[in-house]
Amino acid sequence: MPKKIPLFEIYHDDEDIDAVKRIIERGSFWAEGPEIAEFEDRLAQYIGADHAVVFNNGTSALHAMLLAYGIGPGHEVIVPSFTFISTANSVLFTGASPVFGDIERETCGLDALDIARRITRRTKAIMPIHYAGHPCQIKAIQDLAHDKKLLLFEDAAESLGSKYRGKMVGSFGDASMFSFCQNKIITTGEGGAITTNDAAIAKKLRLIRSHGRSQGDYFNSSGSPDYTALGYNFRIPTMCAALGISQLAKIEKIIKARRALAERYRKAFSKIPGIGLPNELKGCRHVYQLYSILMETHEMQKGLKSHLGGKGIMSKVYFDPVHLSKHYLDLAGAKTAKLPVTEVVSARILTLPLFPGIGAGQFDRIIDAIQEYVGE
């Protein structure tokens, strides 16, 4: 059998290697080094936010963001079920309750009309995701949050660099989260960030990130720090921040490559019946962190996934509904959310390999395998 085609390979170059090597060879500031603040400054500038605070992963970042805004017991946060489970789990971490909303088909993002039906007196925030690298209908959700005086948090884990009406995703909410996990647009291996325009929130985030310690430079000072709040160890290593600086410097090059590959898929699949292709709505920029197609039926989704696997081609369902996972079914008992669009999309969607280093021969294998399956 030919070499397997993975869902993704990490894009890296000699500059990335050198960036990490310099920190190791320095022999100091492997934690809390100056590169962390530099990464934060560059990220905030890229998004167009006043502040960015980086964390050891995106889940920690979401948890810290909710705590910083006072989300806790007795509160509800409306989230999608069509997402990675940490979106909902981060709400539970605070003692608040995630309320699952349904999605709309165009972007696979939260449906503003459905959100409106789920708002109660306990609702404190709405937290949509931007699926696969394309903005959700964020303006409609932003308007709803404003009208109802609710906080708006963007889970932009998959969509660093995507744009809505010329404005960067991550600049619409009170705060936004980005992930730098290994399969994202840029990566630090593991990592995450919160962007916000609120200086007081940024200060709280830094306290939460590092044990509530009010002074920095803990490892390189003989002073005794003060602890002014309850905090966690959510710090990102300096090596990861240095890698983030290097990766961020070439993000537009990476996005350009991903968009070109997505266009090759589009041209090939437009000739194959029975496959729904990802949208790029007018005024939006899709960065294609995932390339997900929509099959006509659940049986076709399962069949194609199995067929590709037999050919050594990885594919994956992003995402299975969170509200139907065992953990959330156990929490809710027999009471489950009614999310018909989420369940239909999840039963038909399939993510295919896409990464800047994918070769023409690999592309041909994927297309041929899909044409063979649809033909059968």
Among 232, 248, 264, the domain boundary falls at 248
CATH number at residue 26: 3.40.640.10
The letter for the amino acid at 355 is F
Structure confidence at residue 258 (pLDDT): 98
Q: Is residue 266 part of a domain?
A: yes
Structure confidence at residue 170 (pLDDT): 97
pLDDT at 220 over 80: no
> Are residues 120 and 93 both part of a single domain?
yes
Q: Is residue 325 part of a domain?
A: yes
pLDDT digit string, tens, across residues 78-92 = 999 999 999 999 999
Average pLDDT over residues 22-43: 96
Has this prediction a pTM greater than 0.85? yes
Q: Is residue 321 part of a domain?
A: yes
215: CB partners within 8 A, 6+ apart:
221, 223, 225, 226
Structure confidence at residue 274 (pLDDT): 85
Domain range for 310: 251-375
Among 196, 220, 248, the domain boundary falls at 248
Per-residue three-class SS string for the chain: CCCCECCCCCCCCHHHHHHHHHHHHHCCCCECCHHHHHHHHHHHHHHCCCEEEEECCHHHHHHHHHHHCCCCCCCEEEEECCCCCHHHHHHHHCCCEEEEECECCCCCCECHHHHHHHCCCCEEEECCECHHHCCCCHHHHHHHHHHCCCEEEEECCCCCCCEECCEECCCCCCEEEEECECCCCCCCECCEEEEECCHHHHHHHHHHHECCECCCCHHHCCCCCCECCCCCECCCEHHHHHHHHHHHCCHHHHHHHHHHHHHHHHHHHCCCCCEECCCCCCCEECCCCCEEEEECCHHHHHHHHHHHHHCCECCECCCCCHHHCHHHHHHHCCCCCCCHHHHHHHHHEEEECCCCCCCHHHHHHHHHHHHHHHHC
97 near 118, Cβ under 8 Å?
A: no
Degrees, nearest 5: CA angle 262-185-315: 55
Q: Is residue 5 part of a domain?
A: no
Among 224, 248, 272, the domain boundary falls at 248
Q: Number of structural domains, the chain?
A: 2
251 near 241, Cβ under 8 Å?
A: no
Q: Round to the nearest angstrom and report the end-to-end CA distance of the chain.
A: 21
Q: How confident is the model at residue 63 (pLDDT cuts 50, 70, 90)?
A: very high
